Amino acid sequence: MSLFDNILKDSETLFKNEYALNFEFIPKTLPFRENEQHYIASCIKPLLNQRQGKNLFIFGPPGIGKTAATRFVLRELEEETDNVIPIYINCWKKNTSYKIAYDICEQLNLKFLQNKRTDELLHLAKKVFTKLPAVFVFDEIDKLEDNDFLYFILEEIPRKTVLLITNYKEWIAQLDSRIRSRLTAEFLEFRQYKPNEIKEILRQRIEYAFFPSVWQQEAFNLIAEKTAQLNDIRTGLFLLREAGNIAEMQASRKITIEHAKKAIEKMDDFSIKDSTLLEPDLREILSIVKQNDNKKIGDLYKIFKEKTSSLISYKTFQRKIKKLAKDGFISITKTGGGDLGNTSIIRYQKIKKLTDFR
């Protein structure tokens, strides 16, 4: 064996197709989500027979294939027929009725959209949907700032399936009743993957993304274990890519357990480093939000005071919460009128926030 066998040359790479590690990449098959895909498809199928589709409310924790399974079904639908229009919108990116109406018109290739109001845009789109049925997917629906467009779609578009996706099952309860009664959605819960399923999903992804046998088994096992602990495939994809990059940087032909460990350290660093930049009381509040995810701001204030015997006022606490939200550590969802007080639900932002949309 030559001394240089394990050294990567300048032009060489471990990645066969790095794009396959992007979060929006959809593989040829999505193992362990067959039932969910069939269920989604069964809600759309009536549209193919000139009947009314069913609406579906999809929920479950982050990084477990809700978006991927839904997009997979849309892709199959597109391959199957031109007679149903698929519309996919991420409400984190398009979070108002105006932006959504505009995006729908763009997806329909409609022209001359500038200077039009939301209702004008929606009426333009309606003309197309009166001729052909549509599937609307509104992903990350809890990030919406207003939902007037939803009322319009439910009320004015004759034949459609509306799919709403979120991490939060309770989101639907705060929808106003005129929308909820028109939606009459069925519920589809995505359960978390089991550790052996996560391992198989990552193993398949390695085949897409890396040249054969660049991964040492124990390095892969470590990343699969870490991913199973965090229960989020997105983290696994991030770690696979990082470990590959670290190995390449060291000009190694193999991805070893050291590279995998470094990738994991880097991920922890990333989130910890950001939060250690915070002032001590902000860090304390963040850790309380993390342990008490999804609670009202008033309840968090009580917990904070009990735990720290701090004398800060509720107003100051609110300001600090807002600061954490501004910096992307937490999110605030208002559940209905009133001031910030009892009506704001505070959620911890997981690693996703840091690594999403790469």
Ligand X SMILES: Nc1ncnc2c1ncn2[C@@H]1O[C@H](COP(=O)(O)OP(=O)(O)OP(=O)(O)O)[C@@H](O)[C@H]1O
Binding site for ligand X (CB under 6 A): 23, 26-27, 30-33, 62-68, 167, 201, 233-234, 237, 352
Which residues have CB under 8 Å from 76's CB, separation 6+? 41
The residue number with the shortest CB distance to ligand X is: 65
DSSP collapsed to 3 states, the chain: CCCCCCECCCCCCCECCHHHHCCCCCCCCCCCCHHHHHHHHHHHHHHHHCCCCCCEEEECCCCCCHHHHHHHHHHHHHHHCCCCEEEEEECCCCCCHHHHHHHHHHHCCCCCCCCCCHHHHHHHHHHHHHHCCEEEEEECHHHCCCCHHHHHHHHHCCCEEEEEEECCHHHHHHCCHHHHHHHCCEEEECCCCCHHHHHHHHHHHHHHHECCCCECHHHHHHHHHHHHHHCCHHHHHHHHHHHHHHHHHCCECCECHHHHHHHHHHHHHHHHHHHHCCCHHHHHHHHHHHHCCCEEHHHHHHHHHHHHCCCCCHHHHHHHHHHHHHCCCEEEEECCCCCHHHHEEEEECCCHHHHCCC
Report the nearest approach of ligand X to the CB of residue 31 (Å).
5
Report the nearest approach of ligand X to the CB of residue 344 (Å).
21
237 binds, among Mg ion, ligand X, none (CB under 5 to 8 A by kind): ligand X
Report the nearest approach of ligand X to the CB of residue 54 (Å).
20
Q: How many CA atoms lie within 13 A of 187 on its CB side?
A: 12
From residue 176, alpha-carbon distances to 138, 150, 179, 187, 335 in Å are 17, 11, 6, 18, 10
- Of 157 and 206, the one with the shorter C-beta distance to ligand X is 206
- Of 32 and 39, the one with the shorter C-beta distance to ligand X is 32
Report the nearest approach of ligand X to the CB of residue 290 (Å).
17
Binding to Mg ion in span 57-76, by CB under 5 A: 67
Report the nearest approach of ligand X to the CB of residue 63 (Å).
5
Structure tokens at 96: 């108002």
- Of 40 and 47, the one with the shorter C-beta distance to ligand X is 40
Report the nearest approach of ligand X to the CB of residue 294 (Å).
14
- Of 201 and 222, the one with the shorter C-beta distance to ligand X is 201
55 binds, among Mg ion, ligand X, none (CB under 5 to 8 A by kind): none
- Rounded CA-CA distance 128/269 in Å is 50
- Of 67 and 147, the one with the shorter C-beta distance to Mg ion is 67
Structure tokens at 215: 């991964």
Report the nearest approach of ligand X to the CB of residue 116 (Å).
30
33 binds, among ligand X, Mg ion, none (CB under 5 to 8 A by kind): ligand X
Report the nearest approach of ligand X to the CB of residue 135 (Å).
17
The residue number with the shortest CB distance to Mg ion is: 67
- Of 192 and 310, the one with the shorter C-beta distance to ligand X is 192
Report the nearest approach of ligand X to the CB of residue 90 (Å).
9
352 binds, among Mg ion, ligand X, none (CB under 5 to 8 A by kind): ligand X
- Rounded CA-CA distance 29/17 in Å is 17
195 binds, among Mg ion, ligand X, none (CB under 5 to 8 A by kind): none
What does the per-residue mask of binding to Mg ion show for 8-47, with x meaning CB under 5 A? Answer: ----------------------------------------
- Rounded CA-CA distance 183/181 in Å is 6
8 binds, among Mg ion, ligand X, none (CB under 5 to 8 A by kind): none
- Of 67 and 256, the one with the shorter C-beta distance to Mg ion is 67
- Of 68 and 288, the one with the shorter C-beta distance to ligand X is 68
- Of 60 and 133, the one with the shorter C-beta distance to ligand X is 60
321 binds, among ligand X, Mg ion, none (CB under 5 to 8 A by kind): none
Question: Which residues sit at the interface with Mg ion, rule CB under 5 A?
Answer: 67
